[in-house]
């Protein structure tokens, strides 16, 4: 097959992918995402895990080490099947905090520490170089295969030249794809779709080759099984340490690889897609590895002894004369390599620009955060990063000689990125994990990885001398790179994995336990660990300062988000605040929103730093918060005191008002009383004066003199009685009355009262019902005073009862320590509105002359009863006037 045709096919394929990405981005820009955001696309994009290592290397791996290649796919299967543990949380955190990369996750979790971001970035970049070298190597080798297989004259191209071209082409392609725009959430719909297309291509290609091998070359599955037992693969020996170690390693890698994090978390558009991916992704890798063993077995059998097993996928169809199938396989391998390089380069470039270039640039010229063109800078730094990363990959490829088995190179990468695992798992599950702990753990793990695995991988005497490998540095044998602490006889890879992970985790945990996290760190740790609890943690507390201009913020946001997007964001925020125009108030809430939004583009630490530059040191530390809280507590205490005082004041004011009201009422009453009393006194006085004047004039018949004298006498008697009553009342009211407490029989008192009252309206015949047995009660009270009350009540009944045949019922009851005596007549009673009045002084319901009293009787009764520790009240609802007297059986002390 002509070399040019091969190049042309590759270019056409790349153009097709670019077209797909372009169309999709256009659709996405219009908002018509639809199926582009489906779980299917998400799952297929995850297949970026399966790189050229899987496509070419797995067969080679199987040919060399039997079933061990499966470990690389079993680990991810466990992680995805167990998505409820880790992936769900990672994706939720990633979406909630707009995480842009794994370095951003670590940096954001540990208090937006940029140092950690840099460490993770460095680990990822260094660990990715062998991996990218692997892709370059595989593509270069695959070109070489076609060249050597042809007989049409063109020589096998120089591997070095090819790899340069491949590296440059991939860099260009990635830059075109990945850095066309600076997306708000760092999501690349177009690329994800293109990756999904590539996923289909590589799956179809591998399955096609597999089917050809199983049914075209061999005689179906049964034959394949027979061939397995006959081949050298049957010699395979399962090493438990490698088997478990590699399963763990691949599980760790699928979580920590920057490109996996990119497609799994950053590009995730819906958490529910994970539920589908939890089974669909394992299914994908199962299908990818299903035909690996048959291809390897048949390849070992059919191909000449020296053939590179890594290339069986290509060479087998070619050797059987299946040029078209080989071409498909080539495109499949090309897809695997390109998709990995594109996503990895984008993820790494994002990390480099967000955690290395931007912070460096910000510290270099702080003033330009606002005025400079940040967007262009970010894009430029990403493009340069992509070039640098591919350059590094190329350098590793050249440095390592491009001869190692693909799987061996990939595993070196895996161990490198696995160093992030302790910090990541600790970060999302353990609130006590601290920045310092994570930093030391990551650093130590990275150093051990470099010392025991990465540097030795360049080959003996390339970086490390043979003497160092054999005897350790400075003759310290316990520090030999592949036998640390005297552990010999371990597989070098497992040795590196074991020591790096063990010491990394140990240091991470111990240092975390010993150190104290900073304020932002503690806030973030709560927000990450409790991400499923609603409203977890308080977010960054920005304090809007007077100097913070919304306009400056807008300018900055536009530089990063783009003119329209920035303006739209500010307008929406302003509207949410109920303001017209484009400039919202720089409230704490708004600043927090803005920071998250910017973090989606340039990472949490950078966004934080940029807003800090405009808002000043506006971040509130926990110490500040505590001080504020203390102050607030003091203020609250003070205001509580004030409130208490105010309540006391209100109470006394109310008491004063009540007293005033009472005084006013009393004053009114006194006036009324005075006018009443003068009226009462004046009436008899008038008649006395008139009759005495007549008498002084003399010459009156004796009969008249006697009559007038009688009138005067009667009036003075009335006057005296009135004055007696008044005096009595005054004494009673003042509480200065002398009570003669003694035992007295109730029946006797009522008897006396009836006799005394019989003079009143003596002409009326009364039927009186009594309850003699009940009346036989001895009371300890002032008998005379009580009798006075009874007399008053009985004579009132005699006077006012308007029935034709008047009756009076006297009912006595004992209740507890009290006695009630009811006086009920059968008259028409007292109207409801008057009932409250009858006990007032001078209250007379009927005509005064007819009653002949001053209207003080019931008032006196009330006072007497009060003095006797009892009450008197009107008893409504008895079909007549009814009064109830209540008094204690035994009056112990004189009430005041």
Partner 1 sequence: MKRPLFLAPQSYRQRRLRDAARLLPILAVFLFVLPMLWGEERNDLRNTGVDAIYLFAVWFVLIVAAAVLGRRLSSTDVPPVLLPVLPVVPPVGRD
Chain contacts with partner 1 (rule: CB under 8 A): 66-67, 70, 74, 77-85, 92, 95-96, 225, 228-229, 233-238, 240, 243-244, 247, 271-272, 275-276, 278-280, 282-283, 286, 290, 293, 534, 573, 576-577, 584-585, 587-590, 592-593, 596-597
CB of 233 to partner 1, least distance (A): 5
Q: What are phi and psi of 881, to 5 degrees?
A: -75, 135
Nearest distance from C-beta of residue 234 to partner 1, angstroms:
5
Q: Which is nearer to partner 1, 80 or 312 (CB)?
A: 80
Collapse the DSSP code of 574 into the 3-class scheme (helix H, G, I; strand E, B; otherwise coil) and give the result.
helix
**121/115 Cα distance (integer angstroms):** 10
Q: Please say which residue, 590 or 823, places its beta carbon nearer to partner 1.
A: 590
Least distance in angstroms from the C-beta of 293 to partner 1: 6
Closest approach, Cβ 105 to partner 1, in A, equals: 16
Tokens of 271: 């958490």
Nearest distance in Å: CB 457, partner 1: 27
Rounded CA separation 118/62 (Å): 37
Can you give the three-state secondary structure of 473-486, one letter per residue? Answer: HHHCCCEECCEECC
Nearer to partner 1, 223 or 748 (CB): 223
Q: Which is nearer to partner 1, 274 or 750 (CB)?
A: 274
Residues 6 or more apart from 128 whose CB is under 8 A from it?
258, 344, 348, 389, 393, 413, 417
Give CA 202 to chain center in angstroms. 43
Nearer to partner 1, 22 or 236 (CB): 236
Cβ neighbours for 406, distance < 8 A, ≥ 6 positions apart: 52, 53, 56, 57, 60, 61, 134, 137, 138, 310
Shortest distance in whole angstroms from residue 636 CB to partner 1: 12
Give the nearest distance from C-beta 228 to partner 1 in angstroms. 5
Closer to partner 1 by Cβ: residue 271 or 776: 271
Q: Which is nearer to partner 1, 393 or 584 (CB)?
A: 584
Q: What angle do CA 46, 48, 53 make, to 5 degrees?
A: 140
Nearest residue to 35 via CA among 189, 167, 150: 189
Q: How many CB atoms lie within 10 A of CB 356?
A: 19
Write down the least CB distance from residue 96 to partner 1, Å. 6
DSSP code at position 39: H
Nearest to 854 by CA among 721, 660, 665: 721
Q: What does the alpha-carbon distance between residue 532 and residue 555 come to, in Å, rounded to a whole number? A: 35
Given a contact cutoff of 8 angstroms between Cβ atoms, the answer to whether 614 and 552 are in contact is yes
Q: Cβ closer to partner 1: 158 or 533?
A: 533
**Smaller CB distance to partner 1: residue 296 or 358?**
296
Q: Residues for the chain: how many in total?
A: 896
Secondary structure letter of residue 54 according to DSSP: I
User: Residue 113: CB partners within 8 Å, gap ≥ 6?
Assistant: 107, 435, 439, 521, 605
Minimum CB separation from partner 1 for residue 459, in Å?
31
Quote the least distance from Cβ 600 to partner 1, whole Å. Answer: 11
Q: Which of 622, 553, 523 is nearest to 112 (CA)?
A: 523
The nearest distance, CB 275 to partner 1, in angstroms, is 4
Residues near 263 by beta carbon (within 8 Å), at least 6 away in sequence: 42, 45, 46, 48, 192, 195, 343
Q: Which residues, including other chains, have CB under 8 Å from residue 272's CB and lie 6 or more apart?
A: 39
The nearest distance, CB 841 to partner 1, in angstroms, is 51
Collapsing DSSP to helix, strand or coil, 327 comes out as helix
Identify which of residues 286 and 506 has a Cβ nearer to partner 1 in the complex.
Answer: 286
Token reading at 50:
């399966």
Q: Which is nearer to partner 1, 92 or 884 (CB)?
A: 92
Q: Which is nearer to partner 1, 293 or 746 (CB)?
A: 293
């Amino acid at each position: 097959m002509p070399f040019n045709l091969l190049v042309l096919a590759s270019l056409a394929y790349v153009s097709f992918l670019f077209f797909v990405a372009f169309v999709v981005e256009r659709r996405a820009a219009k908002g018509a995402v639809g199926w582009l955001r489906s779980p299917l696309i998400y799952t297929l994009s995850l297949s970026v895990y399966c790189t050229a290592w899987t496509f070419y290397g797995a067969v080679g791996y199987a040919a060399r080490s039997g079933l061990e290649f499966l470990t690389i796919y079993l680990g991810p299967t466990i992680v995805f099947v167990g998505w409820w543990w880790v992936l769900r949380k990672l994706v939720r955190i990633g979406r909630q905090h707009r995480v842009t990369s794994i370095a951003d996750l670590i940096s954001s979790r540990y208090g937006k520490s940029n140092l950690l971001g840099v460490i993770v970035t460095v680990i990822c970049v260094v660990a990715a170089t062998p991996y990218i070298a692997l892709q370059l190597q595989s593509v270069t080798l695959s070109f070489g295969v076609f060249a050597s297989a042809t007989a049409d004259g063109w020589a096998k191209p120089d591997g070095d030249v090819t790899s340069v071209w491949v590296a440059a082409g991939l860099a260009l392609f990635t830059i075109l794809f990945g850095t066309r725009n600076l997306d708000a959430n760092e999501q690349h719909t177009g690329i994800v779709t293109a990756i999904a297309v590539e996923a289909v291509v590589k799956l179809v290609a591998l399955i096609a080759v597999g089917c050809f091998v199983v049914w075209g070359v061999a005689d179906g599955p049964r034959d394949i099984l027979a061939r397995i037992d006959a081949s050298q693969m049957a010699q395979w020996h399962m090493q438990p340490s490698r088997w478990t170690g590699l399963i763990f390693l691949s599980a760790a890698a699928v979580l920590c690889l920057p490109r996996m994090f990119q497609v799994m978390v950053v590009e995730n558009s819906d958490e529910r897609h994970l539920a589908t991916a939890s089974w669909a992704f394992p299914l994908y890798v199962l299908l990818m590895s299903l035909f690996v063993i048959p291809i390897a077995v048949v390849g070992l059998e059919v191909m000449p002894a020296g053939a590179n097993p890594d290339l069986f996928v290509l060479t087998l169809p070619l050797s059987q004369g299946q040029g078209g199938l080989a071409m498909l396989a080539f495109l499949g391998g090309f897809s695997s390599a390109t998709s990995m390089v594109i996503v990895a380069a984008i993820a790494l470039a994002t990390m480099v620009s967000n955690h290395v270039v931007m912070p460096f640039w910000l510290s270099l010229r702080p003033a330009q955060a606002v005025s400079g063109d940040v967007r262009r800078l970010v894009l430029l730094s990403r493009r340069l990063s992509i070039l640098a990363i591919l350059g590094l990959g190329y350098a590793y490829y050249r440095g390592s000689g491009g001869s190692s088995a693909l799987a061996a190179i990939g595993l070196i990468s895996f161990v490198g990125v696995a160093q992030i695992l302790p910090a990541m798992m600790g970060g999302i599950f353990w609130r006590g994990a601290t920045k310092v702990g994570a930093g030391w753990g990551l650093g130590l793990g990275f150093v051990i990885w470099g010392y025991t695995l990465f540097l030795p991988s360049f080959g003996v005497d390339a970086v490390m001398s043979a003497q160092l490998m054999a005897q350790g540095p400075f003759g310290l044998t316990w520090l030999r790179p592949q036998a640390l602490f005297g552990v010999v006889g371990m597989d070098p890879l497992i040795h590196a994995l074991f020591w790096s992970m063990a010491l990394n985790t140990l240091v991470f945990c111990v240092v975390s336990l010993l150190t104290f996290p900073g304020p932002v760190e503690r806030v973030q740790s709560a927000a990450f660990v409790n991400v499923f609890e609603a409203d977890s943690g308080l977010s960054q507390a920005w304090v809007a300062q007077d100097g913070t201009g919304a306009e400056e913020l807008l300018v900055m946001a536009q530089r990063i988000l783009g003119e329209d997007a920035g303006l739209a964001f500010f307008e929406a925020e302003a509207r949410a605040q109920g303001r017209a125009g484009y400039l919202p108030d720089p409230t704490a809430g708004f600043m927090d929103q803005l920071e998250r939004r910017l973090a989606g583009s340039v990472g949490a630490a950078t966004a934080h730093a940029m807003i800090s530059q405009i808002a000043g040191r506006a971040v509130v530390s926990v110490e500040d918060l505590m001080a504020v809280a203390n102050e607030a507590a003091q203020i609250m205490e003070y205001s509580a005191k004030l409130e208490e005082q105010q309540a006391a004041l209100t109470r006394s004011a109310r008491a004063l008002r009540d007293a005033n009201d009472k005084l006013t009422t009393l004053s009114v009453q006194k006036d009324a009383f005075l006018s009443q009393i003068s009226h009462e006194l004046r009436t008899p006085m008038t008649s006395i004066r008139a009759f005495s004047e007549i008498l002084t004039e003399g010459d009156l018949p004796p009969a008249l003199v006697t009559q007038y004298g009688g009138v005067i006498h009667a009036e003075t008697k009335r006057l005296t009685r009135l004055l007696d009553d008044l005096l009595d009342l005054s004494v009673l009211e003042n509480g200065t009355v002398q009570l003669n407490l003694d035992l007295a029989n109730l029946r006797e008192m009522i008897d006396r009262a009836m006799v005394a009252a019989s003079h009143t309206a003596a002409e009326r015949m009364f039927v009186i019902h009594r309850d003699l047995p009940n009346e036989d009660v001895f009371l300890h009270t002032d008998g005379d005073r009580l009798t006075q009350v009874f007399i008053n009540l009985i004579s009132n009944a005699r006077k006012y009862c308007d029935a034709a045949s008047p009756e009076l019922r006297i009912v006595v009851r004992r209740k507890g320590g009290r006695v009630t005596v009811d006086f009920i007549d059968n008259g028409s009673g007292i109207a409801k509105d008057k009932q409250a009045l009858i006990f007032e002084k001078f209250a007379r319901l009927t005509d005064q002359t007819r009653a002949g009293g001053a209207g003080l009787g019931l008032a006196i009764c009330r006072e007497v009863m009060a003095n006797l520790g009892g009450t008197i009240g009107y008893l409504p609802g008895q079909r007549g006037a009814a009064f109830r007297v209540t008094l204690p059986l035994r009056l112990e002390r004189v009430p005041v």
